[in-house]
Amino acid sequence: MTDPQWNPAAQWNPPPQADPNAQGEPPTERPPQGQPPPPWGPGQPGPGEWGAGPWGPGQQGPGPWDQGPPYPAPPYQWPPPPQRVPWSVTPPPGTRYDRLARTALHRWWRPIVGTLAIVVGFLVVSVVVGLVAAVVSLLAGVPMVLEGTQIFADPLLTLGFNLVLIALAIPLVAGAAWAVQRRRPGTLSSVAGRLRWRWLLRCVPVALVAVVLGEVAQQLTFLATGVSTGFTWVGWDRFLAPLIVILALVPFQAAAEEYVFRGWILQAFGAYLRNPVPGIVVGAAAFASLHGYTDWGIAYVFGFGVLMGWLAIRTGGLEAAIALHAVNNVFAFGMTAAAGGLQNALQQGSVPWQSIVGTIVQFGVYAIAIVIIAQKRSIQTLSR
């Protein structure tokens, strides 16, 4: 049965007892001497087991289980949004040039798909350039011959179109590095993530000296063996226009070949292998296979590719290789144009053995000089 005298409020929060000595005033708690008065008023319970609050007489305060929700009070602190992973990532510090494609996002299929994309892209670009050549032929009234390496009846126009076509490989390789391998295209240039122009310009005069010394050694060998080169000067009127085209376009053509054979191929193998030798050899072999040289010419082109690959790793980038390649090609095309043989500038075939003497001198002078200068200049060879 329920006790009619039981009152829950009185049990949990009993009313204050009247003071028999008081004159009709409500009882008041007096703070101990030396302490400030409590903040609650007469008849209100102070903070005890249940905590303080604005409740009045006979009202129960909050218990220890009712201290509020577990989440923070408004404004609510929402968790931060997930961090977006950048599209392109950088290689880890201390990475060698041929290993720059080995990033955190590297997957076994990326170099293969990238290579296929470059090949297909170059075929598409070739078709587009061919259509442009046809339009130019109609508008300029220059007939197209399409015989061997010749596109137009004008050999200078043919040379210009071929150089532009090869130069277009640069954006294809850079696009494959960014879109397929998800890395900065600048990592194709050097371990610094960009083309180091100062270092490139320092390599140009060294390349010029090496090429000239190699040509002198070659001509002396021809003279010593009784072989005549048959060089004849055509005059400035026929040489000036080809010289302008050669100086304007050949550096881009040479750089494109370096980005493909010493940049992409070398780093594609480096994404799988720690040893750079297979990448250097395959890149040099691919470079030689796309040239039309025979006998000693094959040895020259293959040796050139091996040296350029070694220098790319030794100096941490393509600058030294681009410098020698560009100077060598400008000199070769320029000599052909100066002799009046511009129509044969793109034809490649047998190379006499006397040329190998000049090649050895050129390669030796350039390699030794570049290594010494790179050490003195403390050229960066690893990523940071």
Quickly list DSSP for 220-284. HHHHHTT---------HHHHHHHHHHHHHHHHHHHHHHHIIIIIIHHHHHHTT-S-SHHHHHHHH
Q: Comparing C-alpha atoms, which of 167, 154, 157, 158 is closest to residue 125?
A: 167
State pLDDT tens for residues 23-70.
Answer: 555 555 555 555 555 555 555 555 544 444 455 555 555 555 545 555
- pLDDT at site 10: 46
Where residue 143 falls among pLDDT bands split at 50, 70, 90?
confident
State pLDDT tens for residues 117-134.
Answer: 999 999 999 999 989 988
Strand partners, 350: 294
* pLDDT greater than 70 at residue 290: yes
State pLDDT tens for residues 302-312.
Answer: 999 999 999 99
- pLDDT at site 149: 75
CA angle 118, 171, 207 (to 5 degrees): 105
Q: Which helix (H) or strand (E) holds 25?
A: none
Tell me the backbone φ, ψ of residue 28, rounded to 5 degrees.
Answer: -135, 130
Which of 144-153, 241-250, 363-372 is the least confident region?
A: 144-153
- pLDDT at site 349: 81
Tell me the whole-structure pTM to 2 decimals.
0.78
Q: Comparing C-alpha atoms, which of 149, 142, 59, 61 is closest to residue 336?
A: 149
* pLDDT greater than 60 at residue 249: yes
